[in-house]
Amino acid sequence: MKKPYTVFITGASEGIGASIAKTLCSNGLNVFAFARREAKLHDLKTSCSNMSGNLDFFAGDVTSNDDLQKASNLCLSRFGNLDILIPNAGIGFFNPLHKGSIKEWELMVDVNVTGVLRTIHATLPHLVKSEGHIINIGSVAARNIFPNSGVYCATKHAVLAISESLKIEFADRLAITTINPGSVDTAFIENTNNEELKAKYKPTFASGMNPEFIAKAVLQAIEANGSGIYSEITLRPDRRK
């Protein structure tokens, strides 16, 4: 990889993704941001306009191959290269299995697993060309199973399996990092339609890590280039306060 690095990140309109985009842009990286809500991406671009890096975006859906292919091509024409991929877009619905809806299960798999694979597929040739870096956003749910989130946990176990297979198949061409956060204070919990569980879990997320803490870990993993690879990073809230 040659500086300035170009980063392609999905789920950049808010939460962890927006924070990573800002942190990387303020550290001089070129950022290509992808998510569905165009107005939010516009605001992100404005907030990054005085930073040392550059940010551009494409409004699209990770359930669409076409959107991701278009965005990957646009990123290339805008910045000339694509070195780092962060397929961060993800969604979770809390519910016990016996109350879960097929629609929610399909969406979690489509965004969190197939969406990650589609994003990798659309960008892989460019990443390999630049001997780049893929930073997958897993979760503590990638290694542990929690109640009321069996399908979400399954999708994050799958993300870890994708990271591991990339690590094996591209050992001499790509750096692979998986970041596994515990609860982070974002809007993530708002997707849950089970009002009882939403109310129960809200305080856990509200007292979770600031998204900037995750963004700093991403920056550290990128800056390690040439020294070694942060293969897996687990980040947990500091509950001592």
Ligand X SMILES: NC(=O)c1ccc[n+]([C@@H]2O[C@H](COP(=O)([O-])OP(=O)(O)OC[C@H]3O[C@@H](n4cnc5c(N)ncnc54)[C@H](OP(=O)(O)O)[C@@H]3O)[C@@H](O)[C@H]2O)c1
Residues recognised as catalytic: 152
Taking CB under 6 A as the rule, does residue 160 contact ligand X? Answer: no
Between 43 and 164, CB nearer to ligand X = 43
Residue 50 to residue 53: CA distance in whole angstroms: 8
Q: Does 61 bind ligand X (CB under 6 A)?
A: yes
Residue 205 near ligand X by CB under 6 A: yes
Range 114-153, binding ligand X (CB under 6 A): 137, 139
For residue 102, how many other CB atoms are within 10 A of its CB?
Answer: 7
Measure the CA–CA gap between 8 and 222, rounded to whole angstroms.
13
Q: Is 208 in the site for ligand X (CB under 6 A)?
A: yes
Q: Is 40 in the site for ligand X (CB under 6 A)?
A: yes
Binding mask 74-113 for ligand X (x = CB under 6 A): --------------xxxxx------------------x--
CB of 65 to ligand X, least distance (A): 12
* Nearest distance in Å: CB 93, ligand X: 11
- CA-CA distances (angstroms) from residue 185 to 132, 154, 163, 188? 30, 22, 25, 8
Angle between helix axes 115-129 and 150-169 (nearest 10 degrees) is 20
Candidates 9, 20, 44, 62; binder of ligand X (CB under 6 A) is 62
Token code pair at residue 4? 């300035």
| Residue-wise burial string across 43-78, b where 16 or more C-beta atoms lie within 10 A, e elsewhere | ebbeebeebebbbbbbbbbbbeeebbeebbebbbee
Check binding of 201 to ligand X (CB under 6 A): no
Q: How many CA atoms lie within 13 A of 161 on its CB side?
A: 10
Site for ligand X contains 10 (CB under 6 A)? yes
Binding region for ligand X (CB under 6 A): 10-17, 35-37, 40, 61-63, 88-92, 111, 137, 139, 181, 183-184, 186-188, 205, 208
